[in-house]
Amino acid sequence: MHCLTDYDIKLLVALNESLRGHRQCTDFFINNGYPELAALSLAIQSDTDALQWLFDNGYPEFGVLSNAIDGEELAIEWLQKYHLDFLSVFAAACRQETPAIRFFVDNKLKVFIFLINTIQELLIQQSWDADDIHKIRRS
């Protein structure tokens, strides 16, 4: 199984920028052998094709992570069942669960704190967008 801790800090910083919408970072991942990081970034940003890519291409744990960040109970349980403790705590911190956030602060895991903050901001924006009548997609 893959974990965010498997990646160099420079890649995690680029992941943070990709989550912030900097397409050149997402393109860097795609063109330099890290398509899973591009897909994870896009999945967290609600791209269902990217989420499916993670499941179809050997990165189900990252797909489940994206769903766990969104608070999906089955995803949270899956991470726990397969003892993906770091990803489980990371998802909980993204959901603003205090003990999980404390873990990252206490262990001085700064790059992950940056990622968590960015994801929390993204989730707030997604929530606002879902309530904005001007941004609701009509079928």
Q: Quote the pTM value.
A: 0.90
Provide the pLDDT confidence category of residue 126 given band limits of 50, 70 and 90: confident
**Which value, in Å, is the radius of gyration of the alpha carbons in the chain?**
15
Residue 57 lies in domain? 7-131
Tell me the one-letter amino acid at 123.
L
Please report whether residue 138 resides in a domain: no
Please report whether residue 2 resides in a domain: no
pLDDT in tens, 80-96: 999 999 999 999 999 99
Please report whether residue 59 resides in a domain: yes
Could you tell me which of 56, 62, 57, 60 has the C-alpha nearest to residue 42? 62
CB 105 within 8 A of CB 134: no
Q: Which residues contact 72 (CB under 8 A, 6 or more apart)?
A: none
Domain count of the fold of the chain: 1
pLDDT in tens, 18-39: 999 999 999 999 999 999 999 9
Provide the pLDDT confidence category of residue 125 given band limits of 50, 70 and 90: confident
